[in-house]
Structure formats: C-alpha cells, structure tokens
Amino acid sequence: MTLIVSARERRNLSLLFFYFGVAALCLATRTPEIKHNLNVDNGTFGVLISLGVIGPVIAYMFIGQLVHRVGVGPVVVVTSSLMYGSIAVVPHVHSPWVYVLANIVLAAGFNSYNIAIHDQALKRQLLSGEKSIPRLHGAWSFGTLVTTLLAIAITSHVSLAWHIDLLMAILWLGTMAAIFRMRPFLIKGSTEHAGDEAVKVKDIWAMLTTDRYIAFAYVCASMIEFSTNDWVTLSSHQEIKASATLSIVPYLTFMIGMIIGRRGIHKLLLIKPETYWIRISARIGGGGFIIFLLLAKALAGHSFGAAFTCEILGFFIGGLGGSFFAGVLTQIASQRSHFPGGVVVAQLGLALAILSFLVKLVISWVAQTTSITFGLMIPGALMVSLSLFKKLGTSKAKV
C-alpha cells in the first residue's frame, strides 16, 4: 500500500531542513570575529577547525544504529539541542581548546541531526513514492541563504554573541515545535531485526577499503564547499580588505551559485549525460575559482572594486560548478555499492570526514605560510582533477 504524506508532515519536515540550513552556516558568516576572539593565526585557526572531524566520525559510526533502536524523534530532539547549544557557546569562547571541544560537539550534533532527518525523509519517500529529497534540500539551501542575508543586514549593528544566541534560541524553539507536530509521523525505534540496522560499525569503513575511487572523487568534489565555509569571509576580510559586512557578500554569491546549480541540474541531465556535466563543471567551476581568486589577490593593492568583483565571481563560479556533485556522487556510490542507501550515505560521510581532515590541514599550513588565497588553490585544483575520473556517472542523458 502506498503511503500518502500529509501536508502537515511535509510542511514540518521542510521546516526541520530549513532551520538546519539557517543554523549550519551562521558561524561561517562571522568567522573573522570568532578568529579574533581566539587570538590565533590563520594556520592555528585552520587546525582548530579541522579537529572538528572527530565529531562526524563519532556520528557516522554510531548514530545510524541509535536511530534504528530508539527512533527518529528522540535522536532529533537530543542532536538538535547539542547542535544549537554548541553553536551558541562559540561566540563566548576565547580558549582554543574550549573551541575545539565545542566544535567537536557541534560537528557531532550537526551530522547526527543530518542523518536522523534524512533517515525520516528517505524512508517516508520510499513508502510514498514521492520524490521529496530535492524539495527538502531546497528548503535547506533557502535556510543558508536566509542566514547569509541576515548576517549581511546585522553584522555591523549587532554583536556576534547577540546574533548567535538569539538566533539559536529561536531555531531551537521552532525545531521543538516542528518535532512536536510531527509526532504521529516520526519513525519509531525497534529492537527487532537487528540485521536491518541502517549503519553497522563494521560496514562504514567499506568505502575507504573497497571503493576508494568514489571516496576520493567525493572529497575532490566537496572541498571547495568545505573550504568556502571555513575561509571565505576571512579571505575577503584579510586579502581584499573588505569590511566585516562586505566580506560576507562573496559567501552569499557562493550560496546563490549552489542553489542555481542544484535547482537546474535535473534539466541539464535531460540534455547531456552525467559524465559530460561532471567533466565540464569540474573544469569550469574549479578553474574559474582559481583564476578569479588569483586575479582578486593581484588586484587587491590597486583597485578594491576590481579585486572584490573578482572575489565575488570566483566564489560564485566555484559554487555553481560544485553545486550538484554531492547529490550525483551519492547516487553513483549507491549504484556501485551492495549496501543500502543509508549505509552508503554514512560511508561517504566518514570517508569525507577523514580525508578532508588531511586536506584541511594542508590548506591551513599553506594559508599560514603564504596566504589564504594560495591555500584555496588546493580545493580548486581538486575540483578540476574531478574531470579526470572517467568512471563517474552514466554516459547517456536522462529521458
């Protein structure tokens, strides 16, 4: 029997993704202030950010089993509280080690919450036959756009602490209300059929041991997004000498590029196959990212307007080029694997967490010894290298 998803459930699940998007990137918009509070150099700050990888590793190893046993509701309540609470702590932190601890808790809560709400969405989609994931990802992207616009509007008027604390309180209350309204629809836990658990500890390492090809491709595809979240506002503020408010604008254009690409890729796949768009997007997105950021740095001492324009164009093209890789590569990984989709998502997440940690350390070292711009050349080059992965995607357009 086909499940009919009610408007109430659909609306509140969209809200959970929207609130998640608002929270996920709110700190990235005010990175210069966070770094200033910690009183560290670029290299140390990059290492502190990178150590947050411990959180996702913990989440991907255990949260799938927990969701299976206790259900989506309790997990979402606890993990969203951890996520919002740890984000609220960050503006008040001045110790690097306390920041590392908060970042680990934040990342663990972030990824656990992500797994739980996707588990709810994927299972309800399977029962209903309704393709809801793209719409839910759209709600998340809209949330990231809202949080970026909010930061541009209030950064010069509201302190970091007031901005984040008040926002987290509102998001937590909204999330609890949405979960309460979704109680009849949330997937319940079960101690039966243990063999059907979404993620087993012994299985999540399989991506790194049996399919390194897709794992490395996923890292190459994701590092521009990861690095932009970490460095974009610092790059604009330090390298281009943009104000605290203007330094958020390149991040805004990056997110707009991501949203345009994600909303339009299904139409492009009707014209040309996945292999074509992966190759073209990797070259244009990564190459454009590199060229325009280098131009921005070269022009910074001569014309702020020209340099800032190049910075904006570089991040926009990088966002547009890398916008659809995560979704397409997840689908490809699922097709290549004998594991269920939920396990594949966890495998990719774990591989990305571990491998990106190593890449982030290199970026941090380059940013400290040379400049942030040269550090960002690494994710740009990784995206270009994705065009060399010949076995990715179908060679026929979807009809």
pLDDT tens column, 7-44: 787 889 899 999 999 999 899 889 999 999 999 999 99
Report helix, strand or coil for 271.
coil
d(CA 249, CA 152): 7
Q: Which of 188, 393, 160 is nearest to 274 (CA)?
A: 393
> Chain-centre distance of CA 308, in angstroms?
25
- Give the pLDDT of residue 36: 93
Determine the average pLDDT of the residues in 303-331.
90
- Give the pLDDT of residue 301: 87
Tell me the CATH number of domain 202-399, given options 1.20.1250.20, 3.40.1400.10, 3.40.50.300, 3.30.300.160: 1.20.1250.20
d(CA 8, CA 72): 17
pLDDT tens column, 364-386: 999 999 999 999 999 999 999 99
Please report which confidence band the pLDDT of residue 326 belongs to, taking 50, 70 and 90 as the band edges. Answer: confident
Q: Which two tokens stand for residue 173?
A: 């209350």
pLDDT tens column, 48-88: 999 998 898 888 777 877 887 888 899 999 999 999 999 99
Q: For residue 137, is pLDDT > 60?
A: yes
pLDDT tens column, 88-117: 999 999 999 999 999 999 999 998 898 888
How buried is residue 191: exposed, middle or buried, by Cβ count under 10 Å (0-12/13-18/19+)?
A: exposed
pLDDT tens column, 277-314: 888 999 999 999 999 999 999 999 899 999 999 999 99
pLDDT tens column, 207-240: 666 667 888 888 898 999 889 989 999 999 999 9
Q: Which two tokens stand for residue 156?
A: 């010069």
d(CA 279, CA 383): 10
- Give the pLDDT of residue 302: 92
Report helix, strand or coil for 319.
helix
d(CA 80, CA 58): 16
**CATH no. for 1-200:** 1.20.1250.20
Beta strands in 11-106 (DSSP E): none
Q: Which two tokens stand for residue 267?
A: 């139409």
Q: Which two tokens stand for residue 106?
A: 């934040």
- Give the pLDDT of residue 343: 67
Domain-by-domain residue ranges, the chain?
1-200, 202-399
What residues contact 200, with CB distance under 8 A and at least 6 apart?
A: 64, 65, 343
Q: For residue 393, is pLDDT > 90?
A: no
Q: For residue 196, is pLDDT > 60?
A: no
Buried residues in 62-92 as b, exposed as e (16+ CB within 10 A): bbbebbbeebbbbbbbbbbebbbebbbbbbe
- Give the pLDDT of residue 397: 54
pLDDT tens column, 346-368: 778 888 888 889 999 999 999 99
- Give the pLDDT of residue 99: 95
